[in-house]
Structure 1
Amino acid sequence: MTIAVHELPAAELLQLAAGEGSRETAARLCDAERSKHILLLHAVIAETAQRFPAAHRELELAASWTALSIAQSYAPDTVAPVLAMPQLGAWAADCLLRLARSDGDSPELRACLADAGAFAAIACLRAGVDFDLLVASSDGVPALPVTGALTPAADGPARRAPAAVRGPVRLRGHGGRLELVTADVVLPVDRPRPITLTTRHAGLTLDLAVDCSTPSLDCPRHRRVESLDPVEIRRWAETLAGTWRILTRHHRADAEAISLVVRTLVPLMPEGSGSSVAATLPSAFGAVAASLPPDDLAMAETLVHELQHLKLCAVLELVPLIGEGEGEGEGDGAGPGPGPVSDDFFYAPWRDDPRPPAALLQGAYAFLGVTRFWRTQRRLLPAEQAVRGHAEFARRRAETLGVAENLLASGRLTAEGAGFVGEMARRLRAWRADEVPAEARRLGLSASFEHRTTWEVRHVLVDPAALHELAARWNARRPAALADRSWPPYRVRPADRRGLHPRSRLLTLRYADPARFRDLLGAENPSGTGALGLGPADAALLRDDLPAAAAGYLDALRRRPCGPEVWSGLALAVRGRRDDPAAAFLSRRVPLVSAVHTALHTASGETADPLALAGWLARGESGDVCGRYASSGGRSPGRTT
């Protein structure tokens, strides 16, 4: 089979880093991924032949490779899309993983390997080449990627049904006809008819195969839709048509790249809360998994977001951006956000769990695209929706720049990676000059601040020895002595993915869907209790009654230690008190105040007043034990002011 050597010119790499990239660059990435698929397929067959020769022989893997090679040589342009199928890349990666982990031949391994014949059969069908291959089956019925099980031909001659067969079956194609061949029957079957969603606008076509069946496209964190009925297919088609109009009219470069890169839609179930979800798999270049979004605009944002992930996955195959051993990959007043507080994990504003550098880069690159999307789209929305666009732009601009700057300071990037992320940061800094209406900016950055501070209290752990020393100083009425801003040391609790608190979702909904926000908040009792599980202080915070919110959170913390949501709520409620040193310190270093508060209660049962404690720490940080406070505006561990 024919493959080529692929390189990404430095100029094109910088264009991609800036969130741009031409149609030619997108095509270059697609070509490289197609060659990678061929190499992966060859590796699967060669590894099987070496380690499990019986399986290689009995599954006729050599015949599958030969048939695919013949089809490619006969009709290369027709077979190229088959070799680029995300199902092929994901299947090959899955097979190689199974081969690496397998101690011996097994039915499960063979079931996976048998799909080699299925991909060869698809290539031969499209090229018009006759074939006779073993393919995977479901209870004796041949199954092909995307389409699933094939069905007997309705107009074929009457034949007795085949006996149930376990394992692969023989599929024969000749003259454009398909036949299932077993020891006792030859049964005509219909050609595969996958569900395809096609929409055209302004000279560009979006053509997506819907895949509800290929196991290798399963997303670990989300449930797939097993099938789509006609009503659901129509809803998807209508949504994609509206989405495509938005993208082709106002985001032309993204639309051109999406039309080339995205080939498959994997429908997902929404989250239990009803929120839409989306994902990509690094091994499945060209596939986007998503639940049906609430509107066309949300789907447009999703496609841009997932396109960025796919582009970066392809770039990483050609250019190393993260140093070896870093795992697999994701000036607004908010600050860049927490930096690396351990050697291994970082804060990601779009996740609730700490992320390794490679995953952090994936997320930052995806949200570079999202930020660019809202930078344009916010000016095109009707007045009642404009706040959504402005708030999203302000929020994602600040968050993504912060992550880019933390990656640059991490020491985890290669030289190429530093150049790539540096260009990302340069573009984001330039966008800080773009004006955002004050109220939209406040709403976006408040949601960002609440997410960040909740994460910090949950995941940032202060050195126990330092906590012991600070507690002793507090009890002895001595200064906190925080003049060295690298002290106390921090580390991260890496695995603690609990999901968003309802208040976090509502803070985003406040600007994303104000009508829905008002309905949900109005359904809560005046006390703040109700179906959402909000406390009175949370309800006050969401209604912008900041004094009542602060009083509620302080009352809870004066009685006993509380969870991260209480501390982040208090920090948000007092954040605007710019002349209050205690409030300013709490807003910047909430995990330290929380940790000392808990340490005091653990040691002596004392529940210190949170603001008094924050004021004491603030005086220690400034080196002024006489009560004056002057913020240096510098960087604290894991945080930039």
Structure 2
Amino acid sequence: MAAAPGAFHVPPATLVRIAATRQRPHDIGLLHAALHSRRLVLFKALLARVGREDLPAPARAAFDRDWRLLERAESPTPAAARRLLDYPAVGGWIVDALNAPGPDGLTAALHPLGGIAVGTALRTGARLRTVLPTVDGRLVLPGIGVQDARASHVRIRTGPHGALLTPVGHLGRSVPLRPDGRGAGAGWTSLAVLPGSAGRLDDLGTGHIAFPDVSRAPDVQPRPDRAAWLGRWRAAVSLLQAADPWRAAEITGLVRSVVPMAPAGEGASSRTLRAAPWAVHTALPDSARRFAEVLVHELAHSKLAVLTDLVALHHADGSAVHHVAWREDPRPFDGVLQGTYAHLALADLWSRVAERPGAAPAARRAARARREEYRAQVADALPILLNSHQLTEHGERFTVSMRQHLTSLGGGPGSPYALSDSLSGDGDVR
């Protein structure tokens, strides 16, 4: 596996643009490069942990086999391999394996590595010949799909034209896969493409961090209604394209996966896993508008998660907790920063919706009301950050830029939607 790149420099202008939630393509390029570097560091950390642990001989042999497969899969075209290695669920799996308790926990957590190697070979066209074990008869290829092999092992051949998956002892259940991961055959299900994007609906139980348990997921919960999810996604993107084309392009360009969750409590719930940026974990939102908000909100969390791996924005230790308008429970400092940024993105969205040409008066009023709801939440939280003495120099620049962007939303000082004077100044952070 190629060595991770060196340290990255974040120009002040990049920090300011990301803080305003509307970065440029080269800013995102920097985030992508940083994420890949971090991913390679995590892979190397996993290799080091396996080397330290007293694993059973079969587990160590399986890891050595899968690691060699991954190196061979990546070698023809490392740039093409990035698409699979940087897939959100792969990051979640590595962190899950690094945190697995003891040799037994690590042994169980290492199982997906072979499937990651096969998926990488599909992207690069590498030639692999191997036999991989299944979990309860299922072979999982993260970011690609699942084979219900109904066998304990699957024989795998990959090359420039795709792959052939043949359950040992069941030749009639062989599955040919194209290089893009699409295939057909008994027991094979591909992840669905999110319309208008390169992302996937990760609805097969492969998008969660707990990879060792994904084979049991179908027994616990019914499979999500794929047509409903894809239809709701399509409607949400259409709404964004009509109201805010830039934001729609950001969503379709950056979201790598949508992972269905069971509803938690009342209404839809969503989250972003720090280890798996560019994935949106959510229950099915009840409307296109709500789905659009979830996508904007969670993508903001992903951007900030990658950025804060690149540059420190604060030095709070997490012990202090703060009350914010959008949560009943108190939040640690990092949670306040994350939430403030995500709600600023929503305020920005609804400001664009409110000012779009041709909007009907009722729609404009409704959008302004949504904007003001989010602006008030951000305005309430900014003093917590600015007066905390916990921000680094980069964090001060980032937070002041958030404040300035919030001030810019809603028109001039005479507008009934203008921000109060308490947060509209551009003076030094105190």
**1:546 matched to which residue of 2?**
none
Change beyond 3 A, Cα 1:149–1:296: closer
2:380 to 372, 389, 402: 402
> Is 1:350 aligned to 2:326, yes or no?
yes
1:288 Cα deviation from its structure 2 partner: 0.3
> Is 1:196 aligned to 2:192, yes or no?
yes
Q: For the residues of structure 2 that align with 1:21 and 1:307, how far apart are their CA atoms?
A: 13
Whether contact under 8 Å (2:118, 2:158) holds in the other structure is no
1:135 Cα deviation from its structure 2 partner: 4.5
* Cα deviation 1:306-341 (Å, max 9, x = unaligned): 111000000001000110523xxxxxxxxxxxxxxx
SS at match of 1:60: helix
Q: For the residues of structure 2 that align with 1:10 and 1:55, how far apart are their CA atoms?
A: 51
* Cα deviation 1:348-400 (Å, max 9, x = unaligned): 21111000101110000101100100111124454444443222211211220
**2:229 matched to which residue of 1?**
236
Whether contact under 8 Å (2:96, 2:209) holds in the other structure is no
**Letter paired with 2:247:** D
Q: For the residues of structure 2 that align with 1:376 and 1:37, how far apart are their CA atoms?
A: 35
Q: For the residues of structure 1 that align with 2:237 and 2:207, how far apart are their CA atoms?
A: 28
SS at match of 2:326: coil
* Cα deviation 1:460-492 (Å, max 9, x = unaligned): xxxxxxxxxxxxxxxxxxxxxxxxxxxxxxxxx
**2:65 matched to which residue of 1?**
63
Q: For the residues of structure 2 that align with 1:387 and 1:55, how far apart are their CA atoms?
A: 67
Change beyond 3 A, Cα 1:434–1:354: farther
**1:129 matched to which residue of 2?**
126
SS at match of 2:199: strand
**1:151 matched to which residue of 2?**
148
Larger CA Rg, structure 1 vs 2: 1
- Which residues of structure 2 form unaligned runs of 5+? 178-187, 211-216, 423-430
**Letter paired with 2:164:** R
1:87 Cα deviation from its structure 2 partner: 0.8
**2:290 matched to which residue of 1?**
298
**Letter paired with 1:179:** T
1:360 to 336, 340, 350: 336
Instruction: Give the 5 Å matches for 1:276-295.
Output: 276-295=268-287
Whether contact under 8 Å (1:364, 1:404) holds in the other structure is yes
CA RMSD of the aligned region, Å? 3.0
**2:43 matched to which residue of 1?**
41
Whether contact under 8 Å (1:67, 1:120) holds in the other structure is yes
Instruction: Give the 5 Å matches for 1:63-142.
Output: 63-98=65-100, 101-102=101-102, 105-106=103-104, 108-133=105-130, 135=132, 137-142=134-139
* Cα deviation 1:142-201 (Å, max 9, x = unaligned): 33325664134xxxxxxxx75xx5xxx4643245322344xx77785324542323323x
Q: For the residues of structure 1 that align with 2:372 and 2:298, how far apart are their CA atoms?
A: 20
SS at match of 1:94: helix
TM-score, normalised via structure 2 length: 0.82
Whether contact under 8 Å (2:375, 2:406) holds in the other structure is yes
Q: For the residues of structure 2 that align with 1:46 and 1:40, how far apart are their CA atoms?
A: 10
Q: For the residues of structure 1 that align with 2:414 and 2:128, how far apart are their CA atoms?
A: 61
Q: For the residues of structure 1 that align with 2:285 and 2:414, how far apart are their CA atoms?
A: 26
Q: For the residues of structure 2 that align with 1:210 and 1:434, how far apart are their CA atoms?
A: 44
SS at match of 2:99: helix
**2:301 matched to which residue of 1?**
309
Q: For the residues of structure 2 that align with 1:311 and 1:58, how far apart are their CA atoms?
A: 36
Whether contact under 8 Å (2:207, 2:259) holds in the other structure is no
**Letter paired with 1:212:** L
Change beyond 3 A, Cα 1:388–1:59: farther
* Cα deviation 1:207-263 (Å, max 9, x = unaligned): 323233137447xxxx9994546xx32222222222222323442333333233211
Q: For the residues of structure 2 that align with 1:420 and 1:136, how far apart are their CA atoms?
A: 48
1:278 Cα deviation from its structure 2 partner: 1.6
Change beyond 3 A, Cα 1:227–1:73: farther
SS at match of 1:410: coil
> Is 1:258 aligned to 2:251, yes or no?
yes
Q: For the residues of structure 2 that align with 1:177 and 1:296, how far apart are their CA atoms?
A: 39
1:125 Cα deviation from its structure 2 partner: 2.8
**Letter paired with 2:142:** P
1:94 Cα deviation from its structure 2 partner: 0.7
1:267 to 260, 263, 268: 260
Change beyond 3 A, Cα 1:185–1:65: same
Q: For the residues of structure 2 that align with 1:405 and 1:227, how far apart are their CA atoms?
A: 45
Q: For the residues of structure 2 that align with 1:55 and 1:419, how far apart are their CA atoms?
A: 52
1:25 to 24, 27, 30: 27
1:264 Cα deviation from its structure 2 partner: 0.6
Change beyond 3 A, Cα 1:234–1:143: closer
- Which residues of structure 1 form unaligned runs of 5+? 153-160, 327-342, 446-632, 634-641
Change beyond 3 A, Cα 1:347–1:433: farther
1:55 Cα deviation from its structure 2 partner: 5.5
Change beyond 3 A, Cα 1:388–1:122: same
**2:239 matched to which residue of 1?**
246
**Letter paired with 1:145:** P
> Is 1:214 aligned to 2:206, yes or no?
yes
> Is 1:372 aligned to 2:374, yes or no?
no
Change beyond 3 A, Cα 1:243–1:396: same
Whether contact under 8 Å (2:73, 2:118) holds in the other structure is no
Instruction: Give the 5 Å matches for 1:384-463.
Output: 384-431=362-409, 433=411
Whether contact under 8 Å (2:146, 2:189) holds in the other structure is no
Q: For the residues of structure 1 that align with 2:284 and 2:414, how far apart are their CA atoms?
A: 30
Change beyond 3 A, Cα 1:272–1:57: closer
2:157 to 173, 176, 181: 173
1:289 Cα deviation from its structure 2 partner: 1.1
SS at match of 1:378: helix
Whether contact under 8 Å (1:280, 1:288) holds in the other structure is yes
Q: For the residues of structure 1 that align with 2:394 and 2:300, how far apart are their CA atoms?
A: 18
**2:214 matched to which residue of 1?**
none
Q: Identity of counterpart residues, as a percentage?
A: 25
**Letter paired with 1:397:** R
1:17 Cα deviation from its structure 2 partner: 1.1
**Letter paired with 2:236:** T
Whether contact under 8 Å (1:79, 1:126) holds in the other structure is yes
SS at match of 1:143: strand
Q: For the residues of structure 2 that align with 1:390 and 1:141, how far apart are their CA atoms?
A: 50
Q: For the residues of structure 2 that align with 1:363 and 1:436, how far apart are their CA atoms?
A: 29
**2:182 matched to which residue of 1?**
none
Change beyond 3 A, Cα 1:346–1:324: closer
Query: Which structure's relative contact order is higher, taking Cα pairs within 8 Å and 6+ residues apart?
Result: 2
